[in-house]
């Protein structure tokens, strides 16, 4: 059984777009689970860091409500 990656937060330093990704499998879908560019301003230089507990909670809630 593959071990999912730890949740990560993607941040665009240009337009302040931010998204936390919680990986449920090792099969990543680009644009859904992983971002190579900002969907808002199309910048390719995204910052990424391990998601904080609050960000993980917020993302879980977002997925639950959608």
- Kindly tell me which residue out of 5, 7, 9, 17 binds Zn ion, with binding defined by CB under 5 A: 17
**How far does CA 43 lie from the centroid of its chain?**
15
Residues 23, 42: Cα–Cα separation, whole Å: 23
Tracing tokens 């990560």 back to the chain, one arrives at: 8
Question: What is the closest distance, in whole angstroms, from the C-beta atom of residue 42 to Zn ion in the complex?
Answer: 7
Site for Zn ion in 39-58 (CB under 5 A): 40-41, 43
* 12 forms part of the interface with Zn ion (CB under 5 A): yes
- Kindly tell me which residue out of 6, 14, 60, 63 binds Zn ion, with binding defined by CB under 5 A: 14
Give yes or no for a contact between 17 and 6, defined as CB atoms under 8 angstroms apart: no
């Amino acid at each position: 059984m593959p071990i999912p990656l730890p949740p990560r937060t993607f941040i665009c330093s240009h337009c302040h777009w931010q998204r936390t990704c919680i990986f449920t499998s090792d099969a990543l879908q680009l644009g859904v689970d992983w971002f190579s560019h900002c969907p808002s301003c199309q910048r390719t230089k995204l910052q990424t860091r391990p998601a904080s507990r609050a960000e993980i909670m917020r993302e879980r809630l977002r997925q639950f409500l959608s």
